[in-house]
Chain A
Amino acid sequence: MNSEEERAARARVREALGVVEPHPGLRSRVIASPPAEGRGGGASRRPWVAGGIAVLLALTVVAGLMLFRRGSPAHSATSGQLVGSLNMTTQLEFRCMLPVQGYLAEARISLPDGAVLVDHVQQQARGTPQYGSVYAGGKWVPVPRAWLSADSKSYAYITNTTGVPGQLQTAALYVHDIALGTDRKLWSGAGFTQLIGWGPGGVYFMFQPAGEGKGAGDRTEVWVADLATRSAAHRVGPNPPQPAPASEADSPIFQFGTRIAGSYAWSLKIGSARPPIPAGGGNVARNPSQVIRMDLNDGSLSTWFTAAEGTSLSIAGTDSQGHPILTVMPTKRLVAPPNSPGQVPPADVIYPPSPRVLMLTGPNQTVEIADGSNSEFRPSSVIGDRHGIWFNSPGSLWLYRQGGLTKVADIPASLFRQPTPPPGATSRNAATPPPNFPPSPPGFPTGVLLALAGPCT
């Protein structure tokens, strides 16, 4: 084997095996393996003592590994199972792996070739709610992206207890160390909470003190829990007092859907419904929704965007600079649910038009990413990285960069199969649509809607 042949072989082997880095927590996990009481023993001890210690140590390690497995449900990404390739519609000039979740499969898409590598398929089980997955540090972590710390070593979660007669509702906030599998309680209190995410100073969460009622949004507060002191501080709220009982919340609710980027949290102030509300269900007018920015350093609120009359608004995500990405639906009216059997909502509610997509760059300053004319582009998941802003859409993947939006690939339905209910389970979606259910309009996209689970790295 000459040096040229060796050089080529070396390069091929490296390419095939790839560049892998150990999980950041591996070193601490490894160093923590031996028992703390010291090795002891040694050659001078009797063999039966050494043997006994060895057995105990082995049991300790086995127990430790079992605890680690149980406590940390994160899944390592192996080389993945190749299940096929996307149909690439744009030739990308960079290489990266984009983590996605399609139904129960956690996968990475190799770009620019489009190969799909499935790392893990979640098991279907009753009573185990799944809020999504995020790919970070070479592992799949079964929590939404906002729950994961910036260094990807921990995630936060909240428990709420309710329904105990005579007792107040209680809530607690925990932080889970992914490598060690340990949980630390940071805060607990009487009331209802929802996690917002990690920001400056700790973990932010929405809190409704007990007795104020869940879901009404009439007294929501934002708190931040400090990891170092294990204490929580009141950051803002209650929200601006309501002059009169409204039919729906007319103030920002900092909970699911709130995005933290840098020192700011972005949330929606949903416009309240305007009476009259049809008795039998039907179209309901709403006040315009607004995008509210909270400065996490001082809790101050400011309005950054007000939707036009007759449109609805949502925050799909942020770009890599922290600009909110908004979707604006040209729906003039929202619909109260029908309350008579067989009655179906209007077709334009079941099959809404494509949204306008805007990037919010300043107070009432936006850059238009999509004008709503492309019926194929209906994003719900957004992630910004150094390549641009990635969007999902039913059956396709999109990228916005250098001022232009392009469809990157079509996703064959065979790559991500819709799960079937476990044996014996009743499917809530198995009902046959009523005869008057409107058919989908021509060009309305179908296919898997991938959730974007991390930046393309």
Chain B
Amino acid sequence: MADVAAAELVDQAKAGDRGAFDALVGPVIDPAFRLAFGMLHDREAAEDAVQEAAFRAWRSLGNLRPGTDMRPWFLAIVANQCRSTLRGRWHKVLKLSGLGTPSQGVEDPVVRGADLRRAIRQLKHDQRLALVLHFYLDLSLEEVAAITRAPVGTVKSRIHRAVVRLRPQLEAEEVFG
């Protein structure tokens, strides 16, 4: 029954019904924004990424199978959009200029956070995505696997490698925290 209702919503959204599109996508805007912010570390870029992802989602409604869970489906599109944004030349230029020069041993919490954020930015995309989804959005490994279209074992491995790479910053936090 729920699938039938969802299928109707999809059909209505395809036909240009904004209310139906809102019913489908609206509930996942907040986690989508948090995912984009966790990946891009920039509020405005995150909002743009979510907007662009919504447009892509709307274009892809025809490919949506009945019974598909909207949240992992839409978050996967947001993740792809973030990857595109990060590949963009302008984003790199802007981010490089905004990195700052936090120094080791400074006890300021903002500076320490900047160290860790910078280290997260330097992770490989797959590791960064798995880390943000699991640690920042608090999604289960199974849901992370659904979003990234990877086996649960692979997701675990990516998170483990990410934590290993972040260990110097994480341990520095422990020392000064």
Contact = CB atoms under 8 A, between A and B. Distances in A.
Interface in A103-154: 110, 113, 115, 117, 138
A20 B32 CA distance: 12
B120 A16 contact: yes
10 smallest beta-carbon distances between A and B, as pairs: A38-B16, A76-B44, A16-B116, A22-B33, A34-B58, A16-B113, A115-B110, A76-B43, A30-B54, A10-B135
A60 to B, nearest CB: 9
B171 to A, nearest CB: 9
A139 to B, nearest CB: 8
Contact of A65 (B37, B48, B169): B48
Interface in A70-95: 75-79, 81-82, 85
Interface of B: 13-18, 21-22, 25-26, 29-30, 33-34, 37-38, 41-44, 46-48, 50-52, 54-55, 58-59, 61-62, 98, 100, 102, 108-114, 116-117, 120, 131-132, 135-136, 159-160, 163, 166, 169-170, 173-174, 177
Interface residues of A, number: 49
10 contacts: A10-B135, A13-B135, A16-B112, A20-B34, A22-B50, A39-B15, A39-B58, A82-B102, A82-B114, A115-B108
Contacts of B26: 27, 31
A256 B72 CA distance: 51
Contact of B113 (A1, A18, A57): A18
Contacts of A75: 44
A244 interface: no
Indicate the member of A30, A65, A115 with the most B CB atoms within 10 Å: A30
A79 B21 contact: no
B51 to A, nearest CB: 5
Contacts of A5: 163
A110 B22 contact: no
Interface of A: 1, 5-6, 8-10, 12-18, 20-23, 26-27, 29-39, 42-43, 54, 57, 61, 65, 75-79, 81-82, 85, 110, 113, 115, 117, 138
B98 A31 contact: no
Given A22-B47, A26-B47, A31-B22, A36 B16 contact: yes
